[in-house]
Amino acid sequence: MADLSVFQHPRFARMYERISAESEQRGTAERRDATLAGLAGRVIEVGAGNGLNFTHYPEKVTEVVAVEPEDRLRALAEQAATTVSVPIRVVAGHAGALPAEDGTFDAAVTSLVLCSVADVPAALAEIRRVLRPGGELRFFEHVRSANPAFGLLQDALTPVWSRAGGGCHLNRDTAAAIRAAGFDLQSLDRVYYAPLRFVPPHAHILGRARLPR
């Protein structure tokens, strides 16, 4: 089994458990629905956290393998998996070495994760490896602002934010990273909202990208 000690952030995990309830009510839950709509077959979710996507998977999904490296969040995800009808197997692991065979999934999901993964190109290469040809990536991520001044503020805040936020970066261009990894972007919506009272509205992207067949 992979050494997951570097991914343990118990303070962040406790905070995420608390604040995510507010975030769901302020618009995150509806973005999860939009991100996962129409999925079918075998799905791998990378960085599943406490399992907040689980109630949003459509019935046609036959299995979700939910990979989560952080112990506390993974335990919460295991509980969440028992409350839904879609079969969900929660497993320990991380994006840089997904515990899955090559080409065995119809779709992969990342939500609010590529901001935290240390090596985004390596994570996307792993997602490519486990998807079948023509497989799909569904993503929902917060990203760097297109407003230059706000983007610079995000650059400045990221080092401190990242320490408190389990490695989260405020300033990533995740759509460019997905394209650079060889996915064809099929849809990309940019939405602005404030998932928490104490943060200003900021940019999120959600969409679909496909591998060549």
Name every residue whose Cβ is closer than 8 Å to that of residue 2 and which is 6 or more positions away in sequence. 69, 92, 93, 94, 97, 99
d(CA 156, CA 79): 37
Find the residue with minimal CB distance to ligand SAM. 49
**Residue 107 makes contact with ligand SAM by CB under 6 A:** no
Tokens 């995740």, located at residue: 174
Order of all β-strands in the sheet with 184-193: 88-91, 61-67, 41-46, 105-111, 131-142, 202-210, 184-193
List 61, 69, 120, 136, residue binding ligand SAM (CB under 6 A): 69
Which of these ranges, 35-43, 54-62, 111-119, 156-164, lies near ligand SAM under the rule CB under 6 A?
Answer: 111-119
Residue 45, helix vs strand vs coil: strand
Residue 59, helix vs strand vs coil: coil
Binding to ligand SAM (CB under 6 A): which residues in 37-56? 46-49, 52-53
- Looking at beta carbons only, is 168 or 209 nearer to ligand SAM? 168
List 43, 44, 66, 73, residue binding ligand SAM (CB under 6 A): 73
**Residue 70 makes contact with ligand SAM by CB under 6 A:** yes
Q: Within 10 A of 165 (CB to CB), how many other CB atoms are there?
A: 17
- Looking at beta carbons only, is 36 or 209 nearer to ligand SAM? 36
- Looking at beta carbons only, is 98 or 211 nearer to ligand SAM? 98
Which of these ranges, 55-63, 91-99, 144-152, 191-199, lies near ligand SAM under the rule CB under 6 A?
Answer: 91-99
Consecutive H or E run containing 97: none
Chain residues that interact with ligand SAM, rule: CB under 6 A: 7, 16, 46-49, 52-53, 68-70, 73, 94-96, 111-113, 116-117, 166-167
